[in-house]
A and B are shown apart, each in its own frame.
Chain A
């Protein structure tokens, strides 16, 4: 994928890989379907990429903001964090094992 010539290419192998790291299970038909759709999406970006943007600063926000922060002051939040979950034990959140 890192090779420049393959940069705009989407194949089933790549879709399977993306599905895997996004933890999405796809059927064979879905893989075929999404490969085509993702190809179309990437095609649209390829067209955008053809616009000459040399000398234009990259933009991160619609509004250019910088250095917005707060001072190091504590204000505890009063709530019951476990109120909305069934997955709890004592005062902990309960979850699947990770490895």
Chain B
């Protein structure tokens, strides 16, 4: 059965102060409710005033997503009865969002962007005595309330969760390149995902954190809807909650219709008029975007498109790292080869991002130079990189401490001779033209000398000595 999916993506914008007050946004490691004031706590008589940077950033995002930007707009109040907004309404945009009708290209497909708008984040709630459904009461921390969010709404253009993942990876990379978002922050990007099976009602899965969870939530929901239908029942239009631990969704509430939010114009904030002059200023500030960067890396450094995509989409910081390395060592093709294979493998194994790791261009290049100058073999380089990612120590030191430098010529010849003597059968096979026998002999030598010599050199020695 065909599935139809659409996304609502909420992104924390990287600002110092909240959207409508001067409270700080750095809520991590703060006391609960420390970053609050009468404005974000919704005290009667308090007056919000918009943070201009939020509007600037949102225009940049809208441009990157090929949207049409509305020249005039205003803010609206979305009324609802949750304790996560002390005012009982959220300041958002409804009738006229900042931007509409954009698109983002993924493989062989364009995903339509319905709208991009600005709003404030609600408080973080803790469910006490159970989960979201069984809690006895909630505790609210308003440090997060009022932090600026961009909401990106897509058209229902996704047919597979693979498309969803590609899209999210791309959006995240764009936001990173625009420097409006910090991917390492908890809850910096949250997704509401809509899914229906052809001809059926739409179900919304609320507030999923993490790309993998979006996929899991959607996959679970498709299977659930199929089985509802198979039992001869109708899928109900509702909002469901994704439980990351059980990887299942559970019903939160039957969908209230949109009008029930009682949107009204926000009279405490002024209209916004975006002039052509303002848009031109933003144009000047627009940085290079991921797709452009990939093309540039291919053109300027001679790396493959695949390699360029890996460094750019894994993490903007990884692409930055690559370019930093190229500045100090002019061997981009070798550098990227080591980054997309062994470095990335080690980082993933240690569950650390390049930014949070101890890997630095200077020391990383030191390692490559050890290999290039023949101080160690590439094979040993792969071992050294593992230690290096964990400790961040100078690769030279690691190599010296572990005694991994190449053994000297005399010792190597001696070892090769010993191996030849011991493996007369293999030597015979080699002489008869069996290529595998040579590989075997090289392997034996490498084992004997703990890989501290170049396999090609060993090959030449064997050829000479048999």
Q: Does B306 contact A (CB under 8 A)?
A: no
Q: Are A94 and B273 in contact (CB under 8 A)?
A: no
User: CB within 8 A of A70: which of B50, B126, B256, B265?
Assistant: B50
Residues of A within 8 Å of B54, CB to CB, are 72
Closest Cβ of chain A to B313, distance in Å, is 29
Complex Cα distance, B74 from A31, in Å, reads 35
Q: Does B252 contact A (CB under 8 A)?
A: yes
Contact digits for A56-99, partner B, Cβ 8 Å, 1 yes 0 no? 00001100111111111111110101100000011111111111
Contact digits for B1-45, partner A, Cβ 8 Å, 1 yes 0 no? 000000000000001110001111000000111111110010000
How many of chain B's residues touch chain A, expressed as a range? Answer: 35 or more
- The closest CB in chain A to the CB of B132 belongs to A99
Q: Is the interface of A mostly helix, strand, loop or mixed?
A: loop
Q: Does B83 contact A (CB under 8 A)?
A: yes
Q: Does A21 contact B (CB under 8 A)?
A: yes
Q: Name the interface residues of B122-149: CB closer than 8 Å to any CB of A.
A: 125-127, 132-133, 135-142
| Total chain A interface residues with beta-carbon distance under 8 A | 33
Q: Does B433 contact A (CB under 8 A)?
A: no
Q: Are B140 and A69 in contact (CB under 8 A)?
A: no
Complex Cα distance, B53 from A15, in Å, reads 42
Closest Cβ of chain A to B330, distance in Å, is 40
Q: Are B136 and A72 in contact (CB under 8 A)?
A: no
Known contacts A23-B81, A93-B83, A98-B125: A66-B32 contact under CB 8 Å: no
- The closest CB in chain B to the CB of A96 belongs to B137
Contact digits for B352-394, partner A, Cβ 8 Å, 1 yes 0 no? 0000000000000000000000000000000000000000000
Q: Are A73 and B22 in contact (CB under 8 A)?
A: yes
Closest Cβ of chain B to A45, distance in Å, is 15
Residues of A within 8 Å of B49, CB to CB, are 68-70
- The closest CB in chain B to the CB of A70 belongs to B49
Complex Cα distance, B250 from A99, in Å, reads 12
Known contacts A61-B270, A82-B33: A69-B23 contact under CB 8 Å: no
Q: Are B31 and A91 in contact (CB under 8 A)?
A: yes
Q: Does B401 contact A (CB under 8 A)?
A: no
Q: Are A74 and B265 in contact (CB under 8 A)?
A: no
- The closest CB in chain A to the CB of B148 belongs to A72
Known: A69-B51, A74-B22. 7 other contacts (CB 8 A): A1-B259, A69-B55, A72-B51, A76-B22, A81-B36, A95-B137, A97-B136
Q: List 23 A-B contacts (CB under 8 A).
A: A21-B260, A23-B81, A60-B74, A61-B270, A69-B49, A69-B50, A69-B52, A70-B22, A74-B22, A74-B23, A75-B17, A76-B37, A79-B38, A82-B33, A91-B34, A92-B33, A92-B139, A92-B141, A94-B139, A96-B138, A97-B127, A98-B125, A99-B132
